[in-house]
Amino acid sequence: MGRLSQRRKVHKYVLGSEHPVRHKEDVLAVEEPLEIRLTGPAGTLKYSVTMRTPGDDFDLVAGFLISEGVVWEPGQIVSERFCAGEDAEGHQTFNVVDAQLRPGVALPDLGRNVVTSSACGICGTDSIEAVRRNSRHSPAHDAVRLLPELVAGLPARLRAAQALFDKTGGVHAAGLFSVHDEGSRAELECLREDVGRHNAVDKVVGWALREARLPLSGTVLQVSGRASFELVQKAAMAGIPVLAAVSAPSTLAVELAEESGVTLIGFSRGEGFNVYAGHERLAPVS
């Protein structure tokens, strides 16, 4: 847990006060690279490097491989392990993970050959069409229904569970809620935080894979940031029928949600929200 955050000395400016410049410590969210390697019968492939907050790295790798369409069932990843990697002082960095794939699971032809930043989950792909994959866990026919009051209350529940954000103010969150009692009740199943919003979602999806929970039918994925294309894609690949965000979606996110059968909700901030796709899953307002 110590690697999730780090204390740094800062100069705090409070203009108009008796002491306008103050020396204090601030707590920052850690951001470090994670190299993902894939091992199969044909050998080992250095697949990608992503910038992330350390922690739940095996979940992150598993979720990333689902999003990429490399795996879709728990048994397709035989094992995950940290590989040797040292910093300048000779300490193990735990910044390289090797995922061994089951025989019969094909290695991708090429690695992504780029560093994926904490701001973008699909920057290494060749084209938008390369990520318009058909999900093996399509949410299109998921029968989940939601009361609007339930949806409106999810951002506050997500925020209340964000321990790392409380310390740093610098991470995104993704929370998976299972829906019960005809859409009137939701249970928080898994919450993950990360400097990258796509990493937080990958960690949730990877947790579900490792717990043999896919497809994630009857669930809502509530995220703390905007609803971008890659987040809708990740939800669709995991069979999540509803994606709700506290900020705006992009046009491409809405298009993909309509194509894949994901209910896409934006500007969900307690008092209301906008439904951009799949409004039929919302119960009528009484």
Whether residue 24 lies inside any domain: the answer is no
> Does 206 have pLDDT greater than 70?
yes
The CATH code of the domain that includes 245 is 3.40.140.10
Q: Which domain holds residue 49?
A: 32-129
**Which range has highest mean pLDDT (9-23, 103-117, 175-189)?**
175-189
> Does 166 have pLDDT greater than 60?
yes
Cβ atoms 125, 60 nearer than 8 A: no
* Average per-residue pLDDT for the chain: 89
**Annotated active-site residue in 83, 120, 123, 190:** 120
Active site residue 120: yes
Rounded Cα distance between 110 and 68, Å, is 12
In three-state secondary structure terms, 208 is helix
Rounded Cα distance between 176 and 207, Å, is 10
In angstroms, the Cα distances linking 243 to 9, 67, 252 are: 38, 15, 14
- Rounded (10°) angle between helices 229-238 and 251-260: 20
Is pLDDT larger for residue 246 or for residue 1?
246
**What burial letters (b/e) apply to 122-134, b meaning 16+ CB within 10 Å?**
bebeeeeeebeee
Q: For residue 215, say if its preceding peptide bond is cis, omega within 30 degrees of 0.
A: yes
Rounded Cα distance between 104 and 36, Å, is 20
Per-residue pLDDT tens over the stretch 228-245: 999 999 999 999 999 999
* pLDDT recorded at residue 121: 54
Sheet with 219-223, strands from edge to edge, namely 185-194, 172-180, 219-223, 242-245, 263-266, 274-277
> Does 88 have pLDDT greater than 80?
no
> Does 114 have pLDDT greater than 50?
no
Sheet with 115-116, strands from edge to edge, namely 77-82, 96-101, 32-40, 43-52, 115-116
Q: 45 and 86: one domain?
A: yes
Q: 58 and 116: one domain?
A: yes
Q: 113 and 226: one domain?
A: no
> Does 84 have pLDDT greater than 90?
no
Beta strands 32-40 and 43-52: pairing type? antiparallel
Is pLDDT larger for residue 2 or for residue 9?
9
Whether residue 26 lies inside any domain: the answer is no
* pLDDT recorded at residue 254: 94
Cα 69 to chain centroid, rounded: 15
Cα 254 to chain centroid, rounded: 18
Whether residue 47 lies inside any domain: the answer is yes
* pLDDT recorded at residue 110: 62
Q: How crowded is the C-beta side of 123, counted as CA atoms within 13 Å?
A: 15
Q: 125 and 179: one domain?
A: no
Q: Count how many domains the chain has.
A: 2
Q: Average pLDDT in the 183-190 region?
A: 97
Q: 74 and 158: one domain?
A: no
Rounded Cα distance between 11 and 22, Å, is 6
* pLDDT recorded at residue 109: 73
Cβ atoms 265, 273 nearer than 8 A: yes
Q: Average pLDDT in the 207-227 region?
A: 96
> Does 208 have pLDDT greater than 60?
yes
For the chain, give the longest Cα–Cα distance: 69
pTM value? 0.89
Q: Which has the minimum average pLDDT: 105-109, 144-148, 178-182, 208-212?
A: 105-109
Q: 164 and 255: one domain?
A: yes
Tokens 């029968």 belong to: 143
- Rounded (10°) angle between helices 57-67 and 229-238: 90
Q: 154 and 276: one domain?
A: yes
Q: Give residue 135's pLDDT band: very low, low, confident or very high (50, 70, 90).
A: confident
Q: Average pLDDT in the 4-12 region?
A: 92
